[in-house]
Amino acid sequence: MRLRPGQHLRRNADFGAVREQGRRVDCGAFLLTWRVRSTAGPARVGFVASRASVGNAVHRNRAKRRLREIYRQHQNLVPPGLDLVLTARAALLRLEFSVVEERFTSACQKFRPPAPAA
């Protein structure tokens, strides 16, 4: 399923709000930061890969492509009303795709409230 324009973080202020007010999960190869939005709507996501942490333009673009594909495949794990920022690190390009995918899905479990005890 394709990411629609309403599913992207676009403004610098939105990225800043997620970073300042959001919660973080360190997944080793990337950093997942999220915050609950005050307005309803689908989850929005932004991807960051800096030159200092990932490398040249080729590596940054490859890292963002990997993160976008992982999010696209598992966007059903993210509840509506969240803003996410996925920040790539150099290890993202060294790990197998399946390992990074597994780390993303396990990090998404933090979004869900714990199941009530039966």
Task: Find the CATH number of the domain harbouring 80.
Answer: 3.30.230.10
Indicate whether 20 belongs to any domain. Answer: yes
Indicate whether 113 belongs to any domain. Answer: no
pLDDT at 32 (0 to 100): 94
Indicate whether 117 belongs to any domain. Answer: no
Indicate whether 115 belongs to any domain. Answer: no
Structure confidence by residue, pLDDT tens digits, 67-100 = 999 999 998 888 888 999 999 999 999 999 999 9
Does residue 58 have a pLDDT over 60? Answer: yes
Indicate whether 51 belongs to any domain. Answer: yes
Whole-model pTM? 0.87
Helix, strand or coil, per DSSP, at residue 17: helix
β-pairing, 44-48 vs 30-36, is unpaired
Euclidean distance between CA atoms 77 and 35, whole angstroms? 15
Indicate whether 116 belongs to any domain. Answer: no
pLDDT at 1 (0 to 100): 61
Euclidean distance between CA atoms 85 and 118, whole angstroms? 34
Whose tokens are 């997620």? That residue is 18
* Half-sphere exposure (Cβ direction) of 94: Cα atoms closer than 13 Å: 8
pLDDT at 101 (0 to 100): 94
Indicate whether 66 belongs to any domain. Answer: yes
Q: Are 48 and 18 in contact (CB under 8 A)?
A: no
The parent domain of residue 88 ranges over 5-108
Buried b / exposed e along 55-82 (16+ C-beta atoms within 10 A): beeebbebbbebbeebbeeebeebeeeb
On average, the pLDDT of the chain sits at: 89
Count of domains observed in the chain: 1
